[in-house]
């Protein structure tokens, strides 16, 4: 691991200490340690099948950590489960089956929230990023285009004004203008104090918004650092190997 990630920080927003998790008899995440600092965008990259999605699922409690600890603002949340993470301000935009296709945009957004009042406030926030939502609230999510569905997924995760936002491969299949819109939305969220951990394959997009980065290989952090002029070349080298 690089010097940058070993440098002590006051209190990490999210800290993983020797986390191991997996499926059945197979360990996918192996003794992994990582710190995400308050208010940063942290880009997590790696080749297919290296464990990035598995790591996000472990962080949000959908998959139990078999060993190690997960700390949120210094508090141990390892065995607390998904609900406790949501209550502590964590939002997750997953890669798989993320929307209720037969429900309207409004109902998909409402499900993330405790009340209609919260929905009204949340909508005001996300309309700024994704204005098309304002005229389409009654439309079924399944009838939106692929790009619109991705924007809805991000909007839903932002509705709660999360302290920590976890995003899994949002850019896949999106046209450049939509990616730019999402990049702008994520930068705005960071400016408002949200910490973001984003798994991405689209390097220009994610390295353009991130503060620090890591590459995963076979369930471990293979390399990491602060974003700098050599980052893209360094990451590409890992993805080629």
- 116 secondary structure, DSSP code: H
3, 8, 23, 173: residue in contact with ligand ATP (rule CB under 6 A): 23
Establish if 44 lies at the interface with ligand ATP (CB under 6 A).
no
Q: Which residue has the tokens 């141990």?
A: 76
Establish if 52 lies at the interface with ligand ATP (CB under 6 A).
yes
Q: How many residues bind ligand ATP (CB under 6 A)?
A: 10
Quick one: how far is CA 62 from the chain centroid?
14
| Cβ distance to ligand ATP smaller for residue 53 or 149 | 53
- According to DSSP, the β-strands at 26-36 and 14-23 are antiparallel
Site string for ligand ATP, 152-191 (x = CB under 6 A): ----------------------------------------
Establish if 206 lies at the interface with ligand ATP (CB under 6 A).
no
Establish if 21 lies at the interface with ligand ATP (CB under 6 A).
no
| Dist CA 146 CA 174 (whole Å) | 8
Q: How far is CA 55 from CA 34, 133, 152, 154, 182, in A?
A: 11, 31, 23, 19, 23
21, 46, 150, 225: residue in contact with ligand ATP (rule CB under 6 A): 46
53, 149, 220, 231: residue in contact with ligand ATP (rule CB under 6 A): 53
Contact 167, 93 (CB under 8 A): yes
Q: Which two tokens stand for residue 200?
A: 């991405």
Q: Which positions lie near ligand ATP, rule CB under 6 A?
A: 23, 28, 46, 48-54
């Amino acid at each position: 691991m690089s010097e940058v990630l070993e440098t002590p920080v006051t209190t990490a927003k999210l800290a993983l200490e020797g986390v191991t998790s997996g499926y059945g008899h197979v360990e996918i995440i192996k003794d992994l340690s990582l710190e995400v600092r308050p208010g940063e965008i942290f880009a997590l990259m790696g080749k297919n099948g290296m464990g990035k999605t598995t790591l996000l699922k472990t962080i949000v409690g959908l998959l139990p950590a078999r060993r190690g600890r997960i700390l949120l603002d210094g508090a141990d949340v390892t065995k607390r489960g998904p609900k406790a993470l949501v209550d502590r301000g964590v939002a997750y935009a997953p890669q798989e089956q993320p929307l209720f296709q037969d429900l309207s945009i409004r109902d998909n957004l409402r499900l993330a929230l405790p009340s209609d009042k919260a929905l009204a406030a949340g909508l005001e926030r996300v309309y700024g990023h994704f204005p098309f939502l304002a005229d389409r609230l009654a439309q079924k999510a399944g009838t939106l285009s692929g790009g619109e569905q991705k924007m809805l997924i991000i909007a839903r995760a932002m509705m709660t004004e999360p302290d920590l936002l976890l995003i899994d491969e949002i850019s896949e299949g999106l046209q450049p203008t939509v990616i730019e819109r999402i990049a702008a939305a994520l930068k705005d969220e960071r400016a408002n104090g949200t910490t973001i951990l984003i798994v991405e394959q689209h390097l220009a997009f994610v390295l353009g918004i991130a503060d620090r980065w890591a590459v995963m290989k076979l369930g471990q952090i293979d390399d990491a650092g602060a974003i700098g002029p050599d980052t893209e070349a360094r990451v590409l080298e890992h993805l080629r190997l």
